[in-house]
């Protein structure tokens, strides 16, 4: 990584990928706290937006990376806004049926489920399942995962594993 930054600079896409990949590794090892991770993720996202544009695939992936950090900090509203933005841009650039768009929709639905917004989560997950079947097929792992998420929502299981009260 140090060699990459010396040769290519801090704004090179490869260096930014390395930096973005460090966040979950350091968090898992307990080396970084959420605030440090959030600062790095924000810096990487800002550079990608400036150098590659908001609609570039790498930028879209980078925009979604801070969501888990925001979840860990209990900032679900901010996570939701970020996921909504990623979904809107991905759908605009790639189309509703693109696998990246389906992933973005599923991620947003998971946040809705975590916030106990059951009907919104279910509505979005139904769209994801239907599009996944059409685009990827019934037996594709992403389709099966989307079906499982829809099932969890319908049975009232929140993203943190607790059951919804009826």
Q: Where are the domains of the chain?
A: 1-56+68-74, 75-166
Q: What confidence tens digit (pLDDT) does each residue in 86-98 have?
A: 999 999 999 989 9
Asked which of 9-18, 72-81, 110-119, 148-157 is least confident by mean pLDDT, the reply is 9-18
Q: Are 48 and 41 in contact (CB under 8 A)?
A: no
Answer whether residue 67 shows pLDDT above 90.
Answer: no
Give me the CATH topology for the region 75-166: 1.25.40
Handedness of CA 39, 61, 120, 117 (dihedral sign): negative
CA dihedral 64, 70, 72, 73 (to 10 degrees): 170
The owner of tokens 């959420």 is 34
At 15, the pLDDT band (50, 70, 90 cuts) reads confident
At 143, the pLDDT band (50, 70, 90 cuts) reads very high
Q: pTM score, two decimals?
A: 0.76
Residue 135 has a pLDDT of 93
């Amino acid at each position: 990584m140090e060699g990459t930054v010396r040769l290519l600079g801090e704004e090179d896409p490869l260096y930014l990928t390395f930096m973005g990949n460090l966040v979950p590794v350091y968090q898992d090892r307990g080396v970084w706290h959420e605030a440090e991770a959030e600062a790095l993720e924000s810096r990487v996202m800002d550079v990608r937006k400036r150098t590659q544009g908001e609609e570039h695939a790498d930028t879209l992936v980078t925009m979604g990376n801070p969501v888990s950090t925001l979840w860990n900090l209990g900032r679900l509203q901010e996570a939701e806004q970020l996921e909504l933005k990623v979904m809107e841009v991905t759908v605009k650039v790639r189309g509703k049926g693109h696998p990246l768009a389906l992933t973005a929709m599923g991620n947003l639905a998971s946040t809705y489920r975590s916030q106990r917004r059951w009907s919104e989560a279910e509505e979005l997950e139904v769209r994801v399942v239907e599009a996944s079947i059409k685009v990827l097929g019934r037996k594709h792992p992403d389709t099966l995962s989307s079906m499982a998420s829809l099932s969890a929502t319908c049975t009232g299981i929140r993203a943190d594993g607790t059951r919804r009260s009826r």
